[in-house]
């Protein structure tokens, strides 16, 4: 009776041992461990690379200068819809050919016209130039 | 040594904040102009994926597009889209700011229709040559 029990116990223990050896989880654990090690090395490499990279002072300066300047968003939005009409009006009325006899006015008109062309997408500047044209060239808009 | 890494982390967060601030300011101005009648169309800026071939030394890895959508309720003509784009690109301060904050593409779209216009920002401002390894 005891013999049978011992034999059965041994058989069961043997089967359990075989099962645990054949199970794939032990292999998987090893795989994951290796993947984790590789990942760690990769992260370490990237961090060290980032640390050793010299900071470009010129680039930094360029960036700081750019961030300091003020942007006039209202003028940008206004210019998107209203600068074309203003430009069309100014380029006709301030054309230097309209002052062929008056040399002084012709010179002023030439400078103004040049600036009008340069600032054709800047409504704020065009309004200023319009005022200037009224004063210096006596143009009625 | 860790200072460098720490500065990069701080800089990244600062840039994120500046980007959000710029988009918010643009949208606020556009909304005010539309409400007060200065602008007949409501413009809305947002961050988009951008075009990967337009990259420059300041470009972000992801989301490098600055998209402006015009809410007109109709399909915008190419000239209308170009007009808005030209005004943005003519403002050198804005273009410079967009570049240093990591944007490389400007996109103008209407609210309906499938097409829009796209510009490469680095073409509109001379970028100095920095460290070649960057």
pLDDT tens-digit series, residues B35-68: 999 998 999 999 999 999 999 989 998 899 999 9
- Looking at beta carbons, which residues of chain B come within 8 Å of A54? 131
CA end-to-end span of chain A: 122
Specify the residue for token string 């004063």. Answer: A135
Answer yes or no: is B120 within a domain. yes
Of B94, B99, B130, the CB nearest to A56: B130
At B134 the pLDDT is 44
In a domain, B35, yes or no: yes
- The answer to whether B76 and B70 have CB atoms below 8 angstroms apart is yes
Q: Which residue of B9, B27, B29 is the best one to mutate when testing the A interface, meaning the one whose CB has the most A CBs within 10 A?
A: B29
B75 occurs within a structural domain: yes
pLDDT tens digit sequence for B8-29? 888 889 999 999 999 999 999 9
Domain region containing B52: 2-124
Edge-to-edge, what's the strand order for the sheet holding B105-110? Answer: B42-48, B65-71, B105-110, B116-120
pLDDT of residue B129: 76
Q: State how many domains chain B has.
A: 1
pLDDT at A19: 66
- pLDDT digit string, tens, across residues B64-83: 999 999 998 777 888 888 99
Global pTM? 0.76
How far, in Å, are A94, B70, B76, B123 from residue A87 at the CA level? Answer: 10, 22, 22, 25
Q: B89, B118 in Cβ contact below 8 A?
A: no
- The structure tokens listed for A118 are 């340069």
What ipTM does the predicted assembly reach? 0.86
Choose among B94, B39, B42, B92: nearest CA to B66.
Answer: B94
The terminus-to-terminus CA distance of chain B in angstroms comes to 18
Any domain includes B65: yes
**Residue B112: DSSP 8-state:** S
Is B54 inside a domain boundary? yes
Under 8 Å between Cβ of A71 and B66: no
Q: What is the least distance, in Å, from the CA of A67 to any CA of chain B?
A: 6
pLDDT at residue A48 is higher than 70? yes
């Amino acid at each position: 009776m005891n013999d049978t029990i011992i034999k059965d116990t041994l058989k069961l223990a043997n089967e359990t041992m075989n099962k645990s050896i054949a199970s794939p989880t032990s292999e998987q654990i090893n795989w994951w461990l290796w993947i984790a090690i590789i990942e760690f090395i990769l992260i370490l490499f990237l961090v060290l690379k980032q640390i050793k990279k010299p900071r470009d002072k010129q680039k930094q300066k360029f960036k700081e200068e750019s961030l300091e300047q003020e942007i006039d968003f209202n003028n940008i939005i206004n210019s998107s819809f209203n600068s074309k009409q203003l430009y069309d009006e100014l380029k006709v009325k301030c054309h230097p050919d309209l002052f062929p006899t008056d040399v002084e006015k012709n010179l002023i008109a030439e400078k103004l016209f040049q600036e009008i062309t340069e600032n054709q997408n800047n409504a704020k500047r065009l309004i200023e130039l319009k005022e200037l044209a009224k004063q210096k060239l006596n143009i009625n808009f | 040594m860790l200072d460098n890494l720490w500065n990069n982390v701080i800089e990244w967060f600062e840039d994120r904040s500046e980007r959000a601030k710029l988009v918010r300011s643009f949208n606020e101005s556009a909304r005010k102009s539309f409400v007060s009648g200065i602008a007949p169309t409501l413009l809305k800026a947002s961050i988009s994926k951008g075009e990967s071939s337009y990259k420059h030394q300041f470009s972000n890895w992801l989301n490098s597009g600055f998209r402006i959508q015009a809410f007109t309720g109709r399909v915008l003509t190419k000239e209308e889209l170009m007009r808005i784009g030209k005004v943005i690109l003519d403002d050198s301060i804005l273009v410079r700011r967009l570049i240093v904050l990591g944007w490389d593409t400007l996109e103008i779209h209407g609210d309906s229709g499938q097409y829009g216009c796209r510009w490469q920002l680095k073409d509109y401002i001379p970028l100095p040559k920095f460290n070649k390894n960057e």
